[in-house]
Amino acid sequence: MALRGVRVHITGIVQGVGFRPFVYGLADRLELKGWVCNTSAGVDIEVDGTQKELETFIDSLQVETPPLSRIDTFLVDWVPANGFSTFEIVHSESKSGDFIPISPDVSICQDCMSELLDPNDRRYRYPFINCTNCGPRFTIIKDIPYDRPKTTMGAFEMCPACQAEYDDPLDRRFHAQPVACPDCGPHVWLESLKDKTQGVLHQDSAIQLARESLAAGRILAIKGLGGFHLACDATNQQAVDELRQRKLRVDKPFALMMPNLEVALEHCFVTPAEQEQLLSRQRPIVLLKKRPGSPIAGMVAPNQSTLGVMLPYTPLHYLLLEPETGSPDSLVMTSGNLSEEPIATGNEEARQRLADLADEFLLHNRDIHIRCDDSVLRVLDFESRDNPPDKSSLTSFQYPLRRARGYAPNPVQLQWDMPPLLAAGPELKNTFCLTRGQYAFISHHIGDLENYETLQAFEEGISHYERLFRIQPQAIAYDLHPDYLATRYALERAQNKSLPSIGVQHHHAHLASCLAENQHPGDRQVIGLILDGTGYGEDGAVWGGEILLGDYRQYERLYHLAYVPLPGGDLSIREPWRTALAHLHRAGLGWEPDLFPVSYAEELKTPEWDALDILKQQIESGVNSPQTSSMGRLFDAVAALLGVRQAVNYQAQAAIELEFLVDQSEINVYPFEVHEQVLDPAPMLAAILNDLRAGAPVPVIAARFHNTIADLMQRICIQIRSETKIDEVALSGGVWQNMTLLNKTVSKLHEHGFIAYLHHQVPANDGGISLGQAAVALHKLKL
Ligand SMILES: [Zn+2]
Ligand SMILES: [Zn+2]
- The one-letter amino acid code at 661 reads L
Residue 392 CA to ligand 2 centre (angstroms) = 34
In this prediction, residues 608-637 reach a mean pLDDT of 95
What are 422's strand-pairing partners? Answer: 434, 476
pLDDT, position 402: 98
The tens digit of pLDDT for each residue in 197-235 reads 666 777 889 999 999 999 999 999 999 999 999 999 999
Cα 184 to ligand 2 centroid, rounded to whole Å: 4
CA 141 to ligand 2 center in whole angstroms: 20
CB 257 within 8 A of CB 320: no
Q: How far is the CA of 735 from the centre of ligand 1 (A)?
A: 39
Q: What is the pLDDT of residues 702-719, one digit of tens each?
A: 999 999 999 999 999 999
The ligand with the least distance to the CA atom of 314 is 1
In one letter, which amino acid is 88?
E
The answer to whether residue 475 scores a pLDDT higher than 70 is: yes
- Closest ligand to 186 CA? 2
**Backbone CA torsion sign across 689, 690, 695, 696:** negative
**Is 401's pLDDT higher than 80?**
yes
Q: Which ligand is nearest to the CA of 135?
A: 1
State the ligand closest to the CA atom of 281. 1
Q: What is the pLDDT of residue 342?
A: 84
Output the CA 28–ligand 2 centroid distance in Å: 27
Residue 18 banded pLDDT, cuts 50, 70, 90: confident
- Expressed in angstroms and rounded, the spacing between residue 344 Cα and the centre of ligand 1 is 26
Q: Is the Cα torsion angle 418, 424, 427, 429 positive or negative in sign?
A: positive
Concatenated DSSP letters for 390-415? Answer: PSSS--TTEEEEE--TTTTTPPEEEE
Compute the distance from residue 179 Cα to the ligand 1 centre, in Å.
10
Mean pLDDT, range 733-743, rounded to an integer: 97
**First and final C-alpha spacing in the chain:** 53
Q: How many CB atoms lie within 10 A of CB 106?
A: 25
Output phi, psi for 202, to 5 deg. Answer: -115, 160
| 185 alpha carbon – ligand 2 mean position (Å) | 6
Ligand 2 center to residue 109 CA distance, Å?
A: 19
Rounded mean pLDDT of the chain? 93
Q: Is 144 left (phi over 0), alpha (psi -120 to 50) or beta?
A: beta
| Ligand approaching nearest to the C-alpha of 116 | 1
Report the separation in Å between the CA atom of 182 and the middle of ligand 1, taken as the mean of its atom positions.
16
**Eight-class DSSP state of 271:** -
Compute φ and ψ for 112, nearest 5 degrees: -70, -35
Question: Which ligand lies nearest to the CA atom of residue 158 in the structure?
Answer: 2
The CA 156 to ligand 2 mean position distance, Å, reads 9
Distance separating alpha carbons of residues 28 and 22, to the nearest angstrom: 10
Ligand 2 centre distance from Cα of residue 170 (Å): 18
Q: How close is the Cα of 131 to the center of ligand 1, in Å? A: 4
For residue 546, the cross-strand partners are 530, 560
E-only strand ranges, 662-778: 673-675, 678-680, 728-732, 755-757
Reply yes or no: is the peptide bond before residue 145 cis, omega within 30 of 0: yes
Convert the pLDDT of each residue in 571-600 to its tens digit: 999 999 999 999 999 999 999 999 999 999
CA of residue 163 to ligand 2 center, whole Å:
7
For residue 394, name the pLDDT band (cuts at 50, 70, 90): very low
Say if residue 322 is exposed, middle or buried (CB neighbours under 10 Å; 0-12, 13-18, 19+): middle
The one-letter code for the residue type at 528 is G
Position 89 scores a pLDDT of 87
Lowest mean pLDDT among 7-16, 27-36, 225-234, 285-294: 7-16
435: three-class secondary structure by DSSP: strand
Q: Note the pLDDT of residue 196.
A: 65
Average pLDDT over residues 747-760: 94
> What is the Cα–Cα distance from 331 to 214, expressed in whole angstroms?
8
Exposed (0-12), middle (13-18) or buried (19+): which is 30, by Cβ within 10 Å? middle
Q: Which ligand is nearest to the CA of 184?
A: 2
Q: Quote the ligand 1 centre to 389 CA distance (angstroms).
A: 28
| Ligand that comes closest to the CA of residue 129 | 1
Ligand 2 center–CA 159 separation, angstroms: 4
**Cα 120 to averaged position of ligand 1 atoms, centre (Å):** 17
CA distances for 205 relative to 81, 110, 211, angstroms = 60, 25, 10
Tell me, in angstroms, the distance from the centre of ligand 1 to residue 111's CA. Answer: 6
The crossing angle, in degrees rounded to 10, of helices 698-724 and 653-661 is 100
DSSP single-letter state for residue 176: -
The per-residue pLDDT for range 768-779, each reduced to its tens digit, is 999 999 999 999
Strand pairing report for 220-223 and 360-364: parallel
Ligand nearest to the CA of 187: 2
Identify the band that residue 155 occupies on the pLDDT scale cut at 50, 70 and 90. very high
Q: What is the 120 CA–ligand 2 centroid distance (Å)?
A: 16
Confidence grade of residue 391 (pLDDT, cut at 50, 70, 90) = very low
Compute the C-alpha angle 453/459/464, nearest 5°: 120
Q: What values do phi and psi take at 351, rounded to 5?
A: -60, -35
SS3 635: helix
Measured in Å, residue 752 CA sits from the centre of ligand 2 at 62
Ligand nearest to C-alpha 133:
1
Q: How far is CA 725 from CA 227, 538, 547, in A?
A: 50, 27, 16
| pTM beyond cutoff 0.95 | no
> Can you say how many angstroms the Cα of residue 230 is from the centroid of all Cα atoms in its chain?
20
Q: Span 346-359, mean pLDDT?
A: 94
471 within 8 A of 465, measured Cβ to Cβ: yes
Q: Return the amino acid letter for 38.
A: N
Question: Is 210 in contact with 191 (CB distance < 8 Å)?
Answer: no
Cα gap 772→592, rounded to integer Å: 44
Cα of 165 to ligand 2 centre, how many Å?
9
In this predicted model, which residue has the larger pLDDT, 42 or 124?
124
pLDDT number for residue 656 = 96
Q: From the CA of 88, how far away is ligand 2's center (Å)?
A: 26
Q: Residue range 103-120: average pLDDT?
A: 96
Calculate how far, in angstroms, residue 161's C-alpha sits from the geometric centre of ligand 2: 6
Q: Tell me: pLDDT of 383 over 60.
A: no
pLDDT tens digits, one per residue of 228-283: 999 999 999 999 999 999 999 899 999 999 999 999 999 999 999 999 999 999 99
Q: Which amino acid, one-letter code, is at 565? A: P
- C-alpha to C-alpha distance for 182 and 180, rounded to whole angstroms: 7
Torsion of CA 325, 328, 330, 336, to 10 degrees: -100
Structure-model confidence comparison of residues 688 and 197, the more confident one: 688
Q: Is the pLDDT higher at 209 or at 382?
A: 209
Tell me the mean pLDDT in the region 454-467. Answer: 95
Q: What is the DSSP letter of 108?
A: P
Beta strands 255-257 and 306-310 are: parallel
SS (H, E, C) 476-495: EEEECCCCCHHHHHHHHHHH
Distance (Å) from CA 281 to ligand 2 centroid: 25
Rounded CA-CA distance 488/499 in Å is: 14
Looking at all shown ligands, the one closest to residue 313's CA atom is: 1
Give pLDDT, residue 68: 83
CB 210 within 8 A of CB 189: no
pLDDT surpassing 80 at residue 344: yes
- The C-alpha atoms of residue 443 and residue 407 are separated, in whole angstroms, by 9
CA of 129 to the centre of ligand 1 (A): 7
